[in-house]
Amino acid sequence: MSVANPLKKLVKCVVLDLDGTLLNTDGIVSDVLRGFLVKYGKQWDGREAKKIVGKTPLEAAAAIVEDYELPCTANELISDITPLFSNQWCNIKALPGANRLIKHLISHKVPMALASNSPKESIETKISFHHGWKESFSVIIGGDEVRAGKPSPEIFLEAAKRLNVEPSGCLVIEDSLPGVTAGKAAEMEVVAVPSLPKQSHLFTRADEVINSLLDLRPEKWGLPPFQDWVEDTLPLEPWNICGPVIKGFGRGSKVLGIPTANLSIDGCSTLLSEHPAGVYFGWAGLASRGIFKMVMSIGWNPYFNNTEKTIEPWLLHDFNEDFYGEELRLVIVGYIRPEANFPTLESLIAKIQEDRKIAERVLDLPLYSKYKDDLYLSSV
C-alpha cells in the first residue's frame, strides 16, 4: 500500500509498551476494580481510566484510593487486588495488529524491547499466555527495575543501553501520555496509539498518532513495510457479530443518503471494545432475504460525535423495504481505514462512497468471496 507521507527518520529498533499497546488490559482492569469496589459500597464508573492509564501500579492505586475515598493505603490496595489481577492475566487478548507487528519485526530481524511500568514478574506472566512473545524480545524491562517509571525516560534509556543502540535510533510505540512523555524525554521517536477513546488530540508530543496498530506504517521510520495489504485492504482473521436491526440516528438515509442497518449493541460492548474504530467490510446475512456484500463503520463517528461506540453496517444492495427487528449476521473479513473526522458533510459522504467501491470490488476476490459461504451467515 502506498504511503503519501515522507520518511520521518531512520530507526534501528522498536521499544514497545505492553498494557494498552500490545494487550487489551483495560477491560480486565475495569472488571476487577468494578468487582473489588463493591465491597466498599463504591461503584467503578470508569472515570479513573484516564488517571491510571500508563501509571506505575503505586500511582494508579493512590489515585483510586483518593478518588474513591477508600479506607486503606495504596500499598494495601495493591496487596488486595494483585491476586485478583493475576487470576485474569490468562484472559487478556492481544490487541488487533499486535501479533502481526511482532511477527513482522522478528521476520525482518528488527530488535525489539518491551518496556512497561508493570513489575517484571507481572510482564512475564502476561506475555507467557501469548505464543512466541517472550522469545521475540531481546530485552524486557519492568518498572521495578528502574528508579523511576514513566514519565521518567529512565526505562527507555535502559532499554536502548541493553539493546546497544543510541536512543535516537529507537522507535517507541506507546498508548499513554506518561509513555509518550518518557519516550520524547529519552530523545526517541514516538508513535502514540491511544488506548482510551477520543484522546488523540492530547498526544501533541508524539511524532505520530495512529488509531490502532493496524495503521502502523513501519516504512515511515525506515523499517521494512508490511506486505499484507491487498488492493487497499488489510485481510483479517474473520470475526462474527449478530443482532437485531434497530432504528439508528435517523441520519443514514436522510443526511448521508446511505441506508445503514444499525445493529443493536446490547451484549456486544465487550466484542466492540476488542476492535479498533474504523471501516471494515465483509458479508451480511438476513435469514429471509439472502447474503449481501457489506461495508461498515465501528466507532464514535467523529463528525457526529457519538457518545457511545456503535456499529453501522451498510448492506450493498437496494432493498424495497426496511427490515427493522430482523436478525442481521455479519462476517467481517477485512479492514479499510481508521475512523477519521471530516471538515464537511460532503467530504464525509465522498469517503464513505469510496469505502463502498473498495469493498464492492475486493469482495469478489477469492481471498474474501469464499466467506460468502460461511454457515454463520445463514444459521438462525
Task: Reply yes or no on whether the pLDDT at 73 is more than 60.
Answer: yes
Q: What is the 3-state secondary structure of 106-175?
A: HHCCCCEEEEECCCHHHHHHHHCCCCCHHHHCCEEEEHHHCCCCCCCCHHHHHHHHHHCCCHHHEEEEEC
d(CA 209, CA 198): 12
Peptide bond before 225: cis, by omega within 30 degrees of 0? Answer: no
Nine-digit cell string for 186: 529519552
Task: Reply yes or no on whether the pLDDT at 1 is more than 50.
Answer: no
Domains of the chain (ranges; CATH) run 13-22+92-221 (3.40.50.1000), 25-91 (1.10.150.240), 234-378 (2.40.30.30)
SS3 52: helix
Nine-digit cell string for 149: 517509571
pLDDT of residue 132: 95
CA end-to-end span of the chain: 38
Residue with more model confidence, 266 or 79? 79
pLDDT of residue 3: 46
pLDDT of residue 78: 85
- Read off the pLDDT band of 260 (50, 70, 90): confident
The beta-carbon contacts of 353-361 under 8 Å, at least 24 apart in sequence, are 355/279, 355/281, 355/295, 356/295, 356/314, 356/316, 358/231, 358/232, 358/233, 358/281, 358/295, 359/281, 359/293, 359/294, 359/295, 359/316, 360/293, 360/295, 360/316, 361/231
In angstroms, what is the C-alpha Rg of the chain? Answer: 22
Task: Reply yes or no on whether the pLDDT at 271 is more than 60.
Answer: yes
Task: Reply yes or no on whether the pLDDT at 126 is more than 70.
Answer: yes
Geometric angle at alpha carbon 87, from 152 and 138, rounded to 5°:
45
d(CA 302, CA 320): 30
Please tell me the pTM assigned to this model: 0.88
pLDDT tens for each residue of 201-231: 889 999 999 999 999 999 999 999 999 999 9
pLDDT of residue 255: 56
- Read off the pLDDT band of 380 (50, 70, 90): low
Residue with more model confidence, 189 or 349? 189
Catalytic positions, written as ranges:
17, 19, 312
pLDDT tens for each residue of 292-308: 999 999 988 766 666 67
SS3 234: strand
Residue with more model confidence, 6 or 181? 181
Residue with more model confidence, 101 or 49? 101
